[in-house]
Structure 1
Amino acid sequence: MTGPDSYTAWLGGRSDAQLVALLERRPDLAVPLPASMAVLATRAEQRASVLRAADDLDTAAFGIVEQLALHTSAGNEPPTRTELKRALRGRAKAATVDAAITELADRALIWFSGDRIRLIPATAEALPWPLGSGTDTDTPDEQHIAAALAGLPPAERALLDKLAETGPRGRTRDAAPDAPADRPVPQLLRRRLLRRIDDETVELPATVGQLLRGEPVTDPRRLTPPEPVATVHTVAEVDGVAAGEVGELLRHCAAIVEVLGQAPAPALRAGGLGVREIRRIARTAGIEESRAGLLVELLAAAKLIEKGFPDPPPEADADEFWGPTPAADSWLEAPPARRWAPLAHSWLELDRYPWMIGLRDATDKPLAALAHELRVPYAVRERRTVLGALAEQPPGTDLAPTDIARLLAWRAPRRRRLYRGQVVDNTLHEAAALGLVGRGALTSAGRALLTEPLPAAEAALEAALPDPVDHVLVQADLTVVAPGPLTAELQQRIALVADVESAGAATVYRLSEPSLRRALDAGLTAAEIHHLFERHSRTPVPQTLTYLIDDVARRHGRLRAGMAQSFVRSEDPALLAQVLASPVADTLALRGIAPTVAISQAPLGELFEELRSAGFAPAGEDSSGAIVDLRRRGARINVRPLARQPYRPAPPTAEQLDLLVTELRAGERAAGATSGTTVRSDGSRTSTAAALALLQLAARVHRQVHIGYVDAKGTAIQRVVEPVRVGNGQLEALDTVTGAVRQFTLHRISSVALLE
């Protein structure tokens, strides 16, 4: 069967839909717009473009590439589809071969001359394993290699590690058959951990290199995808486990916001958070350091914390601090599902790897949280790829991380290093911490987050979260047990009067004198605290709690402080005299101005802290004498509106690619018109005046012309158009391909030819 005799001719014979599919897979070919098929073919054959296009090929496609390369290198005529299937019999089904050939043709990495399949030369260089590995039957299996590597002497292991990192082939005199048998290379050849190419060249087998680099192992000889072992859980169980993780996530994030609000963390000179600050945050919030690093990354990505100078200014001396933004206040008051949504979405679109915090960089320094070095350009793509492997499974299906890594490495063997166990394990661990994965399976909310708008994911999580309860259990030991997530109002009240002692599915709070005093400081009365427990406790309120509330309330507020700079007053002159006689009076420079009033030049916050440290229990009041909440509000840092966002190029749309192909066809038609006999011999431009006259003539008689044009970017294009109007330095002409009227600047028109 006859066919195109060149790659360019084959490309030109592709349909518009096929060219659009090519540009979707290889968008670099369209920038700038190629002027002709010859230009497009030249770009498509360039090594850099071919290697980029091959990154998304699976192992089956590379098996076809390897077979074509071996067939061509032997000096044979390019094979037909039938011959290729015959050569791969036993390794791949006919349908697999057909699908791989179609994918390679869609990427223009192979082309057809009749029924013969021809390989673009640079495609063979993209093989993710040494040429011939797919047909090598001498390489031992994974278990044999792992056992052999475990007992290697240091010299032999160092040699293999070097080849695994720098390239599979090495040159050595010890590869000859008569080399001393006790040398490392002959020993490795004997163990089949190296392959002899010739007397001076050895090669590291693909499977050995994968194991040495910690990559998922896939056999180049196997052209069918691995079948992971699946464990099935109920969707309710998966969502229930994830809902518990979401509760912990939100509680810990709120704790970090509170910690940074009370004491913003000084930023490192490079911009991140130092190890000491992460330890302080983790210790104060009651979480592990690794989790603290992940959560500050999430909060920063969601713009709930930011770097800048806080208001009010902190006491520490630093140029910049990490602290909460004003958005954190509304976030803290939102329902759980609405608080979860921005955190989960920010993680999914985060171009950083939080799990790298604490790892060592090239200079052996630990990587800091929020540091620039954690940015990884492919993080978003690979994170979605890992979760996408779970999303392909039926709901509730759990896949082991090693199986996911093997599957992804088979699908994209040139990117197998990105699917090392460390990457996949940590990605799934972070996803579980955010409630996107439960029991190793993708949750309903995680599935919605990957494929649907954010409100759908929020609704899915809300359905999975347990219904809030409106009651607590007060114990005789002054603990309060919340048997589930509390309603928002009750949660705020309980958090005000008690401190969290242990959190989980059932949160335990501890009532104490300081916690009750905090509630009274906030404006609650003793009667309101009694009513709170009488109304919401399913157990009888213990008498010890009643006595404690009354005792704290009786002593609370007998001494009151206000603004003078600040003042202290009491209805009990003896109590105020006791204050004035104590050492704290000198510290605060207190001065009595009446039997019941004293003033100070110290700030009100300092006055409160010093009096309480001295054993007194003052309460704040406003100008009318009513008790007000004077607790310190956390510092806030305004988000910088002009902060530069990471640049992510948007892929072209289908409509844009259709237009590009149309422009390409127009340029090709114009180029063909200039080389044919339909152009008048005297139709070429000889001067500006002649070109203008020729265009005006064509507009009057409605004739088509071929023009050469240089656009604003300096790109030369050719078009066949029908002039409509010439004037004001512009040519308005009908594009014969698109049917649209276009404008061309006259001084940019480089040539004009009248067509017959």
Structure 2
Amino acid sequence: MSTLTDWLREADEADVVALLRARPDLATPRPADTTVLAARAASRASVARAAEGLDTATLAVLDALLVAGADHAPVSPDALDIGLPPERVRAAVAVLRGLALAWGEPEVSLVPAAREVGNLPPSTPSPAPADVPGLLAALGGDERQVLDTLAHGTGVGKTKDADFAGSLDDAVTPIQRLLARGLLVRRDGETVTLPGQVAAVLRGAPTALVEPRLRTTPHQRATVDGTAAGEAMEFVRHVETLLRLWSDEPAPVRKAGGVGVREIRRLAKAADVSEARAGLLMELAAGAGLVADSGDLEPEWMPTTLADSWLAATAAHRWAALASAWIDLPRLPGLGGRKDARDKLLAPLSDDLRRPTAPVERMRVLRALPSDGGVVSADELAAVLAWRAPRRGGRLRDDVVRWTMAEATALGVVALGALSGPGHALLDEDVSAAAKRMAEAMPQPVDHVLVQADLTVVAPGPLEPHLAARVAEAADLESAGAATVYRVTETSLRRALDAGRSAEDLHELFRTRSRTPVPQGLTYLIDDVARRHGRLRGGAAACFLRCDDPALLAEVAASPAALGLRLRRIAPTVLVSPVPLLEVLEELRAAGFAPAAEGADGQIVDLRPAGRRVAAPPRAAQRPAASRQVDAETLTELVRGMRLGDQAVSARAGRTVTAGAGLGGNSAQTVALLSEAVRARQRVVVSLVDAHGVASRHVIQPVRVGAGVVEGTAGEQTHRLPLHRISAVSLVEE
């Protein structure tokens, strides 16, 4: 019987490359020869990792091979009877061979570790599989209950009757009767084991050896992309709300890390979203580097310096930054708000939500979406993925699928259950193309508004950035969506005037940008607010108030607010105060006055804080190495290196010189022996230690020695080996 090492050594180079691509853990560190590769492929940890990717039908074939004892002796796949068509069994066996979990043809052998990671306990010589159904039919209810419990568990149980060795007539308890019939096997004085052939019958055939059908609904690509664009614009607007909110009032960091419930509810109210969506907004803003922990003695979450450049970008590029951050985010935002096994709240932005494998699982869900339509239900998609890899994902397996679909839909990566055009570009890791496709899907910016008689301003689409800023400056956002509605109020007009706009600027804004006639009420309101605005002005003389109307200034000095502000008249038209100017202006506005701030040149200035910022943390590549494929050329070179290692192992070594000046040997003797091999055209075995301390052996035909290297050939390959890395050289006895 051939071994796994022999089978791998005889396999085609392309097949071994495919194996290393399917099981990348086998290639790290670089195996010296096929023997090392086979040992890794048969190790329990590596076999368990490879088995995580097997589907339900392939696992059923694996279990059937284990029942037949393929881990001890070769078994013919044609002899398996598990309710699958023969071609499906052969396909499953081919998958197992491709992963080096099985080898041999036509009969198949399994690596011994497959028994430890399989779904069945070990089989025993008796009873024979054909006799098991009859023995089970003769059992009583209590005995059958014991077997069913073990069959659907680990197959191992603790009992005081494990040492029973009598006949069926002597048995008293259910455990003793099962031991007497051979349906249980003693492992030690307190442990019994259910034989694998018994467990296979009790469990029966898997309930779904055929992949569940995934229902889909056809959609036009333009419809999917248009819907995705609408969701993307809404999500970007919500992140803008988060940045404004935390810019004005940063969120404190919890002692245990993350954000507290109060801050989540504050954002949910400000953005008019659910608390779950608020947590997702926080996670993605942090993942994109737009917000960060200040790191102060009393740390706070606040916008970073990247937030300003993000806000200045186009909507499509803002979306692309968020969506690419989500793809690579090593966290599960869906866990936010849940409680763990110790009843501890899992808060957004805390370390409790960190899951390094999240990007891999996220990509797996997105790549499973069909190309011919949208999935009807995330639960159906979860069922299909569970069938394709039942041993993968742990207890959150199905939840991750639902969270991924919900988050992708909120971002516009998925719409109507289908992957959007920009989402396809993201999966191809082309962020620029994703932004371009999203820009094409988004409605074109409009350069006009519709002013209504009730002083509302309707934007019939996304406004041009400059116009949007001007409108937001002079009106309050009332509702957002396909058509955004703003409302003009006295407060909003005062805000525009505080920012340095004049009444004429506001008249011109609405006159030139409104496709509807400007209502007379808006004209009167602008003039009225502008007439009163700025008549009372304050300066930063720590601070002063001046007014050309002594009566108005006297009214301010006599108001209740003047006492708290400690206002003092220094001239008929000037008041001063030791209170900061911004606080004076706010108190007077609350008292019903309309003061404005002025600069050194007498012009109105805006003293409102621009918002706090913290340095953006460096964003490293977050996608784990498991999601990055090694290129075929590198793997091919690795396989060829193993083949050389095999030749070195099988070569009969003759005269040997320990070499390498840096390795404690005699470099002169090394060069002499290599030069002798060049003249005699004799192959040599070169032992090498690379810069990382990894030892390897190469069989080459040296053709030239000099300039610090030995150049030689091995088959069609040419190798240049540094002399100072050589630890030993041996002539090959032909």
Q: Which aligned pairs between 1:382-421 and structure 2 lie closer than 5 A?
A: 382-390=361-369, 392-394=370-372, 396-415=373-392, 417=394, 420-421=397-398
Structure 1 residue 78, shift from structure 2 partner = 2.9
Unpaired runs of at least 5, structure 1: 140-156, 187-195, 211-217, 311-317
Amino acid at match of 1:19: V
Structure 1 residue 611, shift from structure 2 partner = 2.3
Structure 1 residue 100, shift from structure 2 partner = 2.3
For each residue in 1:397-435, what CA deviation from the matched residue of structure 2 results, as whole angstroms up to 9, or x when unmatched? 223112111211111121164664433222211111111
**Counterpart position of 1:529:** 506
Q: Equivalents in 1 of 2:199, 2:364: separation in Å?
A: 24
Is the contact made by 1:734 and 1:741 (CA closer than 8 Å) also made in structure 2? yes
Answering whether residue 374 of structure 2 is matched by residue 374 of structure 1, we say: no
Q: Which aligned pairs between 1:478-627 and structure 2 lie closer than 5 A?
A: 478-627=455-604
Q: Percent identity?
A: 46
Closer/same/farther in 2, CA of residues 130 and 561 from structure 1, 3 Å limit: farther
SS in 2 for 1:694: helix
Structure 1 residue 637, shift from structure 2 partner = 0.8
| TM-score, L = length of structure 2 | 0.84
> RMSD between aligned alpha carbons?
3.7
Is the contact made by 2:682 and 2:731 (CA closer than 8 Å) also made in structure 1? no
Answering whether residue 22 of structure 2 is matched by residue 22 of structure 1, we say: no
Amino acid at match of 1:409: A
For each residue in 1:122-167, what CA deviation from the matched residue of structure 2 results, as whole angstroms up to 9, or x when unmatched? 22433357789xx99x99xxxxxxxxxxxxxxxxx9x999998x74
SS in 2 for 1:340: helix
**Counterpart position of 2:439:** 462
SS in 1 for 2:687: strand
**Counterpart position of 2:640:** 662
For each residue in 1:416-466, what CA deviation from the matched residue of structure 2 results, as whole angstroms up to 9, or x when unmatched? 646644332222111111112222222222223223511222222222222
Is the contact made by 2:357 and 2:624 (CA closer than 8 Å) also made in structure 1? no
Larger deviation, residues 662-671 vs 409-418: 409-418
Q: Equivalents in 2 of 1:174, 1:421: separation in Å?
A: 40
Closer/same/farther in 2, CA of residues 299 and 168 from structure 1, 3 Å limit: farther
Q: Which aligned pairs between 1:702-741 and structure 2 lie closer than 5 A?
A: 703-722=682-701, 730-736=708-714, 738-741=717-720
For each residue in 1:188-236, what CA deviation from the matched residue of structure 2 results, as whole angstroms up to 9, or x when unmatched? xxxxxxxx868977899999x99xxxxxxx9725433221222223333
Is the contact made by 2:57 and 2:209 (CA closer than 8 Å) also made in structure 1? yes
**Counterpart position of 2:332:** 353
Is the contact made by 1:382 and 1:418 (CA closer than 8 Å) also made in structure 2? no
Answering whether residue 123 of structure 2 is matched by residue 123 of structure 1, we say: no
**Counterpart position of 1:152:** none
Amino acid at match of 2:329: L
Structure 1 residue 278, shift from structure 2 partner = 1.9
Amino acid at match of 1:497: A
**Counterpart position of 2:101:** 109
The partner residue of 1:79 within 71, 75, 81 is 75
Is the contact made by 1:238 and 1:441 (CA closer than 8 Å) also made in structure 2? yes
**Counterpart position of 1:296:** 282
Moved >6 Å (runs of 4+)? 129-132, 159-164, 172-176, 196-207, 724-728
Closer/same/farther in 2, CA of residues 248 and 646 from structure 1, 3 Å limit: closer
Structure 1 residue 271, shift from structure 2 partner = 3.2
SS in 1 for 2:280: helix
Answering whether residue 620 of structure 2 is matched by residue 648 of structure 1, we say: no
Structure 1 residue 723, shift from structure 2 partner = 5.1
Is the contact made by 1:691 and 1:752 (CA closer than 8 Å) also made in structure 2? no
For each residue in 1:14-70, what CA deviation from the matched residue of structure 2 results, as whole angstroms up to 9, or x when unmatched? 111111111112222222332322222222211111111111122232232122222
For each residue in 1:316-345, what CA deviation from the matched residue of structure 2 results, as whole angstroms up to 9, or x when unmatched? xx5221101122122223221111111111
Is the contact made by 2:422 and 2:435 (CA closer than 8 Å) also made in structure 1? yes
Is the contact made by 1:567 and 1:598 (CA closer than 8 Å) also made in structure 2? yes
Answering whether residue 249 of structure 2 is matched by residue 272 of structure 1, we say: no
Closer/same/farther in 2, CA of residues 5 and 93 from structure 1, 3 Å limit: closer
Structure 1 residue 485, shift from structure 2 partner = 2.2
Answering whether residue 301 of structure 2 is matched by residue 322 of structure 1, we say: yes
Closer/same/farther in 2, CA of residues 118 and 162 from structure 1, 3 Å limit: closer
Closer/same/farther in 2, CA of residues 605 and 432 from structure 1, 3 Å limit: same
Is the contact made by 2:704 and 2:711 (CA closer than 8 Å) also made in structure 1? yes
Is the contact made by 1:169 and 1:203 (CA closer than 8 Å) also made in structure 2? no
Answering whether residue 209 of structure 2 is matched by residue 223 of structure 1, we say: yes
Q: Equivalents in 1 of 2:270, 2:71: separation in Å?
A: 69
Structure 1 residue 495, shift from structure 2 partner = 1.0
Closer/same/farther in 2, CA of residues 582 and 735 from structure 1, 3 Å limit: farther
Structure 1 residue 267, shift from structure 2 partner = 1.3
Q: Equivalents in 1 of 2:671, 2:414: separation in Å?
A: 69
Is the contact made by 1:171 and 1:202 (CA closer than 8 Å) also made in structure 2? no
Answering whether residue 49 of structure 2 is matched by residue 52 of structure 1, we say: yes
The partner residue of 1:248 within 215, 221, 234 is 234
The partner residue of 1:97 within 89, 112, 119 is 89
Is the contact made by 2:258 and 2:349 (CA closer than 8 Å) also made in structure 1? yes
Is the contact made by 2:330 and 2:623 (CA closer than 8 Å) also made in structure 1? no
Closer/same/farther in 2, CA of residues 475 and 106 from structure 1, 3 Å limit: same
Closer/same/farther in 2, CA of residues 640 and 230 from structure 1, 3 Å limit: closer
Answering whether residue 645 of structure 2 is matched by residue 672 of structure 1, we say: no
Q: Equivalents in 1 of 2:157, 2:376: separation in Å?
A: 38
Q: Equivalents in 1 of 2:351, 2:235: separation in Å?
A: 24
Unpaired runs of at least 5, structure 2: 124-128, 134-144, 176-182, 187-191, 660-664
Structure 1 residue 375, shift from structure 2 partner = 0.8
SS in 2 for 1:742: strand
**Counterpart position of 1:150:** none
Q: Which aligned pairs between 1:200-211 and structure 2 lie closer than 5 A?
A: none
Closer/same/farther in 2, CA of residues 119 and 421 from structure 1, 3 Å limit: closer
SS in 2 for 1:329: helix
Q: Equivalents in 1 of 2:274, 2:686: separation in Å?
A: 70
Closer/same/farther in 2, CA of residues 652 and 238 from structure 1, 3 Å limit: closer
For each residue in 1:637-674, what CA deviation from the matched residue of structure 2 results, as whole angstroms up to 9, or x when unmatched? 11134x77658335432222111111111111122222
Closer/same/farther in 2, CA of residues 552 and 203 from structure 1, 3 Å limit: farther
Amino acid at match of 2:103: W
Q: Equivalents in 2 of 1:16, 1:120: separation in Å?
A: 21
Answering whether residue 734 of structure 2 is matched by residue 752 of structure 1, we say: no
Aligned residues: 686
Is the contact made by 2:657 and 2:728 (CA closer than 8 Å) also made in structure 1? no
